[in-house]
A = this chain, B = another copy of it.
Amino acid sequence: MAIIPEPTRRRLVQIAHLLSHQKSTRITSMNIESLTGWSSSLIRKDISMIHYNGGVSNGYDVKDLRRAICEALNIAQTIEQGVNCCIVGLGKLGAALLENSIFTGTPFKLVAGFDTNVNRTEILSAPFPLYAASKMESVIPELGIAYAILTVADDNAQRMANILVSSNIKGIVNYTGEILSVPQGVVVENVSPITAMNNLSAMLAE
């Protein structure tokens, strides 16, 4: 399989997510256009990048297309087995994510929260255990946690990222404004409002 360009990969990830919520059994590229705003020709081009031949004039089979995308992106196994995740930083932003049932129906499962402030881990309630940050290096490998959501203060972000790396984390969703330095093999998705807005500016200027 040829390398899939990043913009295509990002769109395919979204399309797979969207398909998982579809109630109908078939979907056309025009349907996906109306759900995403991306042009149907771009969508067909993205889908052709994974060499999927299941499209006919009355559209794609929803389940089969989703399976094909997940396989092409090598995320099928991840989705089937599920991924244990944790939140690091239980300030207002972290606490807001704690109480959301945002991960229901996804492969991602929050199994632990961490904060340097032990008061917070004692006061906050969550459907999973909360620990002092000093426990990260033991709890993360023990629970097989692969992904972390980082919601600490900026000036603590790299220090916590270092601990995550030494706890064998695979990926970090970075809500802080810091640019994290991590070794090869660990991936970071930067989703702070500032990064997001800078990306909007650059996209709008294209």
Chain B residues whose CB sits within 8 angstroms of the CB of A197 once the complex forms: 83, 85, 106, 108, 147, 171, 173, 189
Binds B, one of A58-66, A93-101, A111-119, A125-133: A93-101
Query: Chain B's nearest CB lies how many Å from the CB of A112?
Result: 15
Report copies per complex. Answer: 2
A103, A183, A192, A205: residue with the most chain B Cβ atoms closer than 10 Å = A205
Partner of A75, one of B183, B187, B195, B198: B198
The closest CB in chain B to the CB of A183 belongs to B37
Contact between A204 and B181 (Cβ–Cβ < 8 Å)?
Answer: no
List chain B residues, Cβ under 8 A from A183: 37
Collect the chain B residues with CB atoms within 8 Å of residue A103's CB.
193-194
CB-CB under 8 A from A149, the residues of chain B are 193
- A179-206 with Cβ < 8 A to chain B: 179-184, 186-206
Complex contact B37–A184 (CB within 8 A): yes
CB pair A171–B200 under 8 Å, yes or no, is yes
A96 to chain B, nearest CB (A): 4
Tier of interface size on chain A: 35 or more
Nearest chain-B residue to A38 (Cβ)?
A: B181
Chain B positions within 8 Å of A187 at CB level: 200, 203-204
The answer to whether B198 and A13 have CB atoms under 8 Å apart is yes
Residues A202 and B9 in contact, CB atoms below 8 Å apart: yes
A14 close to B96 (CB less than 8 A): no
